[in-house]
Amino acid sequence: MAVKKKVLFVCVGNACRSQMAEGFARSLGGDVMDAESAGLAAALKIPEETHIFMAEKNIDTRDQFPKDLREMDLSRYQLVINMSGYPLPVSVAAEVREWPIQDPIFVSEKKFRVIRDEIEQKVKELIDEMRPRI
């Protein structure tokens, strides 16, 4: 069995995008990655919309909580996915990929779902890339 890759998803507040990516990665790709998330400036809590719209995909994110990037041990990760739209404020030895995904804060419910689905698709592509070919 292959060793799982440790992946960190990063956004601004670690309240929406990176939390959704972590939820999808854990649910759909737990065989190939250990996923976590963090934010450049961690929010106080995850908005209820994030939990509700992830539950629509049968993914429970209620045990997740915002974490600050500066408090993470970044040496643990092999891949960092940056969805913040900003340069990471800390040095990372891991591969860093930029995912330009709109922040769903203060958008309509319809747009929030579109962003959620975009994140789901990107995470699925990442999982497919990591999963061994038979």
Region class of 58: left (phi > 0), else alpha (psi between -120 and 50), else beta:
left
User: 5-129 belongs to which CATH class?
Assistant: alpha beta
- How much is the pTM? 0.95
Q: Residue-wise over 37-61: b if at least 16 C-beta within 10 A, else e?
A: bbbbebbeebbebbbebbeebebeb
Asked whether residue 115 carries a pLDDT value surpassing 90, the answer given is yes
pLDDT tens, position by position, 46-84: 999 999 999 999 999 999 999 999 999 999 999 999 999
Question: Residues of the chain with pLDDT > 90: what percent?
Answer: 92
Query: How do the domains of the chain map onto residue ranges?
Result: 5-129
